[in-house]
Structure 1
Amino acid sequence: MNTPEKSIKHSVSPEEWQTRVNLAACYRLIAKHGWDDLIFTHISARVPGPEEHFLINAYGMLFEEITASSLVKVDLHGNIVQDTGYPVNPAGFTIHSAIHEARADAGCVLHTHTRAGIAVSTQEDGLLPLSQISMLPCSSLAYHEYEGIALNGEEKPRLVADLGTNNFMILRNHGLLTVGQSIPEAFLFMYALETACQTQVMAQSTQQSLRLIDPRIVAGVKAQVQLVTKGMGGDLAWPALLRKLDRLDPSYKD
């Protein structure tokens, strides 16, 4: 599958185009960090405006190939609402559509199948408060039991109920998920969750006794995060990440 020959920048609103650029950048960053899974998993983002429309990757493209113009606009059922010549996997939108429909604050939903994330998802105790980076996800973490490949719409209410108002979720025996008000926020949340999982797996591999962080510290971490990010959340690091992408390969903006 090739990237589009022509940009669709002038056929969408400036607000949608900016969302497309940020979402394409997020796909490229996931690939750069090695968190992609061939053509599988998804990142979805709400299109600004009153319509319940969302952007998601074209099915069959590697994350490193995603561009702003190749992203597919769909409704809550995964139906394509603007034909750009690219297919979408409706089944892959099951998890995302459930969260977008239930959470008005879900500007972006990011889902991965990383080795470290899956490894932690198989552990009975899940994510442990072992490291400073684990504090953020541990302060807003939910779990959802495995029900098979996410094709069944009947799973949606259980998924939504398990997530609640949390921004991090471990899908048991499956992978990781973050929900952000914006694309930069969802990426920052995944960075924290994935790094925490990698650190946990590495610490467990030493076969040494592990020191857990005091639960009282975990309880107070949200206020501390606000101070560290100056209240900007993912937006604090996002411009620097875009500058890095521009140096490496700016084609995500096509």
Structure 2
Amino acid sequence: MPVRRISIVDFRNLVGVDLEFGDGRIAVIGDNAQGKTNLMEALAWLATASSFRGDPTGALVREGAEQAILRAEVEGGGRTTLLEVELAAVGRNRMQVNRNRVSRVRDLLGHLVTTVFGPDDLALVKGGPVGRRRYLDDLLVASHPRHHGLVTDLERILRQRNTLLRQAGGRMTPDVESTLDVWDDKLTGVGDELGQARRDLVVLLRPEVADILDVLGDGTRPATME
């Protein structure tokens, strides 16, 4: 899915950028703090509808601007797709695919697929399971955009449940227990469904990981994923 053109307005420190890309590998070279990583982040946002740095939308809009605008022409499947996003400093974002407004994030996903690898990705190996689960969820959404709803539902339920416990302040009244039971039931349902999707993804990844380990290793230790 090559990107043929990208236009960026008021995204972080990028006031106005308009680039066209040819075939083959492309290297982005510039001075420190010139915006190289911000360019990559803009492309990745169009692919994932989120910042790989973990920042909220408001932090992506250049200081003093009301919104950032991202546009990209992406080739794939014998056609060119135009992706457009307006990121609001305050309020709701707007998304369009081929000039048609879409209201669901999943409708933006899948047109552009990116892989970001940076220093923080070493946490996949060195860090705890939270980062690996998050990475699996990113893969799920990239390969099957319909799973975006599952991931966001789980995050929403956890926030609501944690808010309830924080507001209760350790006092488990009958009302709190009743409401907590509702959130626990929802958490179990969504968690089970997402857990199965993660397990299915691991099954698909096993042969790919085994092939990569054969190339990198000496072939004496087979790769396993559970």
TM-score using structure 2 length: 0.28
Q: Which has the higher contact order (CA 8 A, sep 6+)?
A: 1
- Please give the TM-score of this superposition, normalised by the length of structure 1: 0.26
User: Who wins on radius of gyration, i.e. which is larger?
Assistant: 2
Larger strand proportion, structure 1 or 2?
Answer: 2
